[in-house]
């Protein structure tokens, strides 16, 4: 079995970089990155700057276009499908053309993944999403992830998932993301895994347990998927935990006790004597920073006239050096509550993070996004990215799986 990858919603190449750092023969055959409404496709351009472009099986280049316009049968065959797709509304209905067809909401990118799986049948898949995927939507908690599991089950895949706090596995950012590993049941790996029970999978025998070790699996809860994806969309509710396993429509989930590693501290990734443009030098702006980071109680009124008090606690200001960074958002560097503000190691003055520091938070090489894009887009791209070393950890386990397939 070849070590070939297709990377959807590729951003600036976090998945690809994570696998290439293994130096174990992984080859990306095709990728797709397109930012709707953007005049310049900065992330796509950055990806191509590092890795070059990828033709489809007809020798044509469509990597920087809307993935929904791509004929999935023209994507090169691959062993592993990867992608960090957004958390959206995954509800579906039966299509008008066929009682068995599915019709999801337009623009929801999960259906592009599903269409790719149907067309190319990759034996293995790794996906990344926000941690709230497991709880959404609020009015039918667990439905969205249930729809994803139902789709994969219908296509004869089993699935593992884990919510990973990157700082608990050595990274410099307390970023929580849901990683999803799906594999075809007819692979050698699938047949071996079918011999284990859910606790074995979550504790020691699954890819997630080997990539992100745990000390214990807490009380396991169980649910069963309806065979009809539309029925799951309409009725399914379930309290998914941080870890879990689905096979043949049977869902098992539990919180786990992570075997935590020492994190990288924020102070370890900071540069000294940063460029003056990153410092907070204006008194009025400093007052705004202090206000945004502080505790608040603000009277508000809802649309129906209900009066309530919006409250939020304080955020450390500046961010402490002796902890990993907080989760970085696409708004990083702008004047808002979530932006990191640090004391510069060289001057002691307060400033925002530099683009290089945001790259370090995500585990990229220094100046990865220094490819001609403006600073604002460098922050945006890093806020959208994943923590690269987490991918490499999963890749190491997948190396062994592929070797056994061969």
What are the DSSP calls for 234-254, one per residue?
Answer: HH------SEEEEETTEEEEE
At 90 the pLDDT is 74
Tokens 């879990």 locate to 244
Distance between alpha carbon 87 and the CA centroid of its chain, in Å?
9
Q: Rounded to an integer, what distance in angstroms lies between the CA atom of residue 136 and that of residue 144?
A: 6
The DSSP letter of residue 263 is P
At 305 the pLDDT is 85
Over its C-alpha atoms, the chain yields an Rg (Å, rounded) of 22
Single out the residue of 216, 199, 209, 195 nearest to residue 162, CA to CA.
209
Q: Rounded to an integer, what distance in angstroms lies between the CA atom of residue 381 and that of residue 332?
A: 10
pLDDT tens, position by position, 280-318: 999 999 999 999 999 999 888 888 888 888 899 999 999
Tokens 């989760």 locate to 327
Residues of the chain with pLDDT under 50: 96-99
Contact between 5 and 82 under an 8 Å Cβ cutoff? The reply is yes
Q: Rounded to an integer, what distance in angstroms lies between the CA atom of residue 218 and that of residue 255?
A: 6
β-bridge mates for residue 31, sequence order: 7
CA atoms within 13 A on the CB side of 175: 29
Q: Rounded to an integer, what distance in angstroms lies between the CA atom of residue 221 and that of residue 113?
A: 28
At 106 the pLDDT is 66
Torsion angle of the four alpha carbons 354, 381, 11, 174, in this order, in degrees rounded to the nearest 10: 70
pLDDT tens, position by position, 343-369: 999 999 999 999 999 999 999 999 999
At 99 the pLDDT is 42
Q: Rounded to an integer, what distance in angstroms lies between the CA atom of residue 258 and that of residue 254?
A: 12
Pairing state of beta strands 341-343 and 307-312? unpaired
Catalytic machinery residues: 87
- Number of C-beta neighbours around residue 285 at 10 A: 11
At 394 the pLDDT is 98
At 41 the pLDDT is 97
β-bridge mates for residue 216, sequence order: 257
Pairing state of beta strands 80-84 and 124-130? parallel
Which residues, at least 6 apart from 339, have a Cβ–Cβ distance to it below 8 Å?
Answer: 331, 332, 333, 352, 353
Encoding tokens for residue 74? 């023209």
- Number of C-beta neighbours around residue 323 at 10 A: 15
pLDDT tens, position by position, 211-254: 999 999 999 999 999 989 999 999 999 999 999 999 999 999 99
At 86 the pLDDT is 79
Single out the residue of 33, 31, 148, 152 nearest to residue 82, CA to CA.
31
Domains assigned to the chain: 4-261+387-405 (3.40.50.150), 266-372 (no CATH)
What are the DSSP calls for 264-282, one per residue?
Answer: PPHHHHPPSS--GGGB---
Distance between alpha carbon 174 and the CA centroid of its chain, in Å?
13
Q: In what order do the strands lie in the sheet with 80-84?
A: 27-31, 4-8, 80-84, 124-130, 176-184, 157-165, 243-247, 250-254, 221-224
User: In which element (H, E) is residue 144 found?
Assistant: helix 143-154
At 89 the pLDDT is 77
pLDDT above 70 covers a percentage of the chain that reads 96
């Amino acid at each position: 079995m070849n070590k070939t990858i297709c990377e959807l919603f590729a951003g600036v190449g976090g998945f690809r970089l994570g696998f290439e750092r293994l130096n174990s023969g992984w080859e990306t055959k095709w990728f797709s990155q397109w930012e709707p409404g953007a005049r310049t496709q900065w992330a796509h351009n950055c990806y191509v700057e590092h890795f070059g472009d990828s033709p489809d099986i007809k020798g044509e280049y469509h990597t920087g276009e809307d993935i929904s316009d791509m004929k999935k049968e023209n994507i090169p065959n691959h062993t592993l499908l990867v992608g960090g797709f957004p958390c959206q509304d995954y509800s579906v209905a039966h299509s008008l053309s066929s009682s068995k067809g599915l019709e999801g909401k337009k623009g929801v990118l999960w259906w592009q993944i599903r269409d790719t799986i149907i067309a190319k049948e990759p034996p293995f898949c790794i996906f990344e999403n926000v941690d709230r995927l497991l709880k959404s939507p609020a009015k039918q908690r667990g439905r969205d992830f249930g729809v994803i599991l139902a789709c994969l089950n219908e296509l004869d895949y089993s699935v593992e998932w884990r919510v990973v706090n990157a700082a608990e596995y050595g990274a410099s950012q307390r970023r929580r993301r849901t990683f999803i590993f799906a594999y075809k049941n007819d692979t050698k790996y699938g047949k071996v895994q079918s011999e284990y029970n859910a606790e074995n999978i979550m504790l020691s025998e699954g890819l997630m347990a080997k990539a992100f070790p745990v000390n214990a699996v807490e009380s396991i809860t169980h649910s069963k998927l309806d065979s009809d994806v539309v029925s799951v969309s309409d009725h399914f509710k379930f309290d998914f935990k941080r870890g879990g396993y689905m096979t043949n429509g049977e869902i098992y989930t539990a919180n786990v006790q992570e075997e935590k590693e020492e994190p990288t501290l924020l102070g370890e990734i900071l540069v000294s004597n940063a460029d003056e443009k990153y410092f907070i030098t204006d008194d009025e702006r400093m007052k705004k920073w202090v206000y945004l980071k502080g505790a608040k109680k603000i009277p508000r009124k809802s649309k129906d006239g209900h009066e309530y008090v919006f409250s939020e606690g304080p955020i450390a200001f500046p961010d402490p050096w002796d902890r990993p960074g907080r989760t970085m958002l696409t708004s990083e560097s702008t004047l808002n509550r979530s932006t990191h503000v640090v004391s510069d190691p060289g001057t002691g003055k307060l400033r925002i993070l530099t683009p290089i520091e945001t790259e370090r938070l995500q585990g990229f090489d220094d100046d990865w996004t220094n490819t001609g894009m403006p600073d604002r887009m460098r922050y945006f791209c890093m806020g959208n990215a994943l923590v690269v070393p987490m991918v490499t950890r999963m890749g190491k386990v997948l190396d062994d799986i592929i070797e056994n397939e061969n």
